[in-house]
């Protein structure tokens, strides 16, 4: 059935190509590849590793805790301090600033439910574990179980939603407390889904054969899309509706960190993940089948992982500058130029063979940027950052 469906889609797309000259002369192969970047948004399923995934009380609790600075050691740093909703849940800084300034660029959180690995180094295999780390990290929030329990008990709504979600009161001595908090924050983050972008509208229009609607997509973005799919081979890594394969790569970005040393990237991330008490192989994974831990079970660090960083989603880029794991590229134009002038000697001769300097003309740089910009929503994001709730809550 799936094959038949694809064939039918290709037929529609091919017919569209013939009929529409002003939406670019995309080949059937290109149209098929365009179609593979949708539909958007993806269907949502609960996280089997998080028993409160999709739970309304947990989502409410998670949202309130996300904006709660009292979880931090100085009572001034919340998750939202770095993950600003107005900036695609990023902070606009080169590197994150919690209690101290870090060494990596803050990743945005939109569509985070769709990810497999979390963090630039993939040091986490689940969203709740990734949410717990900054709360406890002395450089980020410096929190603790005792502090978290105090915060939960300090406000009726927090206390009540915690009881609703987890069926018991928040107690500092409960070894589950921090994990539960993290799972609630994860449950809320799972709801952060970006609206469709101009590209999605174009892709959907092509798919249904609506040439008039497709023609609204700017010509520069169409040319950039062709580069993206063709000569750039960008879609090899930036694949699918999320525009990422969810894995890691070395694209020649230096990874020294000041004052001395390096950020080992994925190589360190794998080691960190496998040593993490809160990974999916551990007791806190709520998926009794452990099917969600298969990828983690087979992880092995390899030499190539040293200096690899996560292939980021390309959605919502206009909201999340600067770019790269260390925030070293300020604009999308700089990103395009990086790939244009790629230093091949920074890549292993038998490693990232797909990467070659694209040698883009100024026009091509503009086109690629126009395409990348078209992956951000045309409409304003909904405002999830309302003040902490004081809704009535009836604990069990």
Partner 1 sequence: MKPHNRIAAEYTRLTRALRLASVFAALSGALLALPTAAADEPRMPIFDAHVHYSHDAWERTPPKVAIAILRKAGLKRAMVSSSSDEGTQKLYAEAPDLVVPSLRPYRKRGEIATWVRDESVIPHLEDRLKKYRYAAIGEFHVYGADADLPVVRRTVQLAKQYKLWLHLHGDSEAIERVLVQDPEARILWAHSGFDRPEAVRAMLKKHHTLYADLAYRNDHATNGKIDPAWREAFMEFPDRFLVGTDTFTPERWYYIAEHADWSRGWLADLPPDIAARIAWRNGETLFASMMATRQ
Cβ-based nearer residue to partner 1, 29 or 262: 262
Cβ-based nearer residue to partner 1, 215 or 257: 257
Shortest distance, CB of residue 41 to partner 1, whole angstroms?
37
CA distances from 367 to 7, 33, 222 (A): 30, 18, 8
Contact set for partner 1, span 266-285 (CB under 8 A): 267, 275
List, in order, residues 6 or more apart from 125 with CB less than 8 Å away.
116, 117, 118, 273, 279, 280, 293, 295, 296
Q: How many residues bind partner 1 (CB under 8 A)?
A: 22
List, in order, residues 6 or more apart from 367 with CB less than 8 Å away.
220, 221, 223, 224, 227
Cβ-based nearer residue to partner 1, 241 or 265: 265
- Which part of the chain contacts partner 1 (CB under 8 A), choosing from 127-135, 146-154, 200-208, 303-311? 303-311
Identified binder of partner 1 from the candidate list 4, 167, 258, 300, rule CB under 8 A: 300
Distance CA 218, CA 216 (A): 6
Shortest distance, CB of residue 164 to partner 1, whole angstroms?
33
Shortest distance, CB of residue 348 to partner 1, whole angstroms?
6
Shortest distance, CB of residue 252 to partner 1, whole angstroms?
8
Cβ-based nearer residue to partner 1, 349 or 392: 349
What phi, psi does 124 have (nearest 5°)?
A: -135, 145
Contact between 255 and partner 1 by CB under 8 A: the answer reads yes
CA torsion 181-386-201-222 (nearest 10°) is: -90
Distance CA 215, CA 251 (A): 34
Please name which of 325, 320, 252, 305 lies closest in space to residue 103, comparing C-alpha atoms. 325
Residue 242: Cβ within 10 Å count: 20
Contact between 256 and partner 1 by CB under 8 A: the answer reads yes
Distance CA 95, CA 93 (A): 5
Contact set for partner 1, span 336-375 (CB under 8 A): 343-346, 348-351
Contact between 297 and partner 1 by CB under 8 A: the answer reads no
Q: Contact positions toward partner 1, by CB under 8 A?
A: 254-256, 261-262, 264, 267, 275, 300, 302-304, 306-307, 343-346, 348-351
């Amino acid at each position: 059935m799936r094959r038949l469906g694809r064939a039918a889609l290709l037929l529609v797309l091919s017919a569209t190509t013939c009929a529409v000259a002003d939406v670019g002369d995309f080949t059937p192969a290109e149209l098929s590849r365009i179609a593979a970047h949708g539909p958007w948004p993806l269907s949502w399923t609960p996280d089997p590793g998080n028993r409160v995934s999709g739970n309304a009380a947990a989502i409410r609790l998670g949202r309130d805790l996300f904006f709660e600075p009292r979880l931090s050691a100085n009572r001034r740093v919340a998750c939202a301090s770095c993950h600003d909703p107005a900036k695609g849940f990023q902070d606009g800084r080169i590197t994150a600033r919690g209690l101290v300034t870090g060494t990596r660029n803050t990743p945005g959180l939109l569509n985070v439910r769709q990810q497999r690995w979390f963090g630039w180094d993939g040091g986490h295999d689940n969203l709740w574990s990734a949410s717990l780390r900054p709360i406890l990290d002395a450089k980020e929030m410096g929190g603790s179980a005792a502090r978290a329990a105090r915060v939960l008990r300090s406000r009726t709504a927090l206390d009540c939603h915690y009881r609703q979600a987890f069926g018991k009161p928040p107690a500092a001595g409960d070894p589950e407390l921090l994990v539960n908090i993290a799972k609630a924050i994860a449950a809320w983050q799972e709801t952060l889904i970006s609206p469709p972008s101009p590209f999605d509208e174009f892709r959907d229009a092509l798919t249904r054969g609506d040439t008039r609607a497709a023609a609204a997509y700017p010509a520069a973005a169409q040319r950039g899309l062709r580069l993206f799919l063709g000569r750039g081979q960008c879609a090899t890594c930036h694949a699918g509706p999320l525009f990422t394969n969810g894995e890691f790569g070395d694209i020649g970005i230096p990874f020294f960190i000041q004052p001395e040393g390096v950020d080992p990237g994925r190589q360190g991330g794998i080691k960190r993940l496998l040593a993490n008490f809160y990974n999916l192989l551990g007791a806190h994974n709520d998926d009794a089948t452990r099917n969600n831990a298969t990828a983690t079970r087979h992880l092995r660090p390899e030499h190539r992982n040293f200096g690899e960083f996560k292939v980021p989603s390309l959605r919502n880029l206009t909201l999340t500058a600067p770019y790269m794991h260390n925030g070293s590229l300020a604009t999308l134009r700089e990103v395009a130029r990086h790939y244009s002038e790629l230093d091949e000697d920074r890549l292993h001769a038998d490693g990232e063979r797909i990467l070659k300097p694209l040698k883009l003309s100024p026009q091509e740089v503009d086109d690629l940027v126009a395409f990348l910009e078209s992956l951000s929503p045309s409409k304003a994001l909904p405002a999830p950052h309302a003040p902490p709730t004081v809704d009535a809550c009836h604990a069990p």
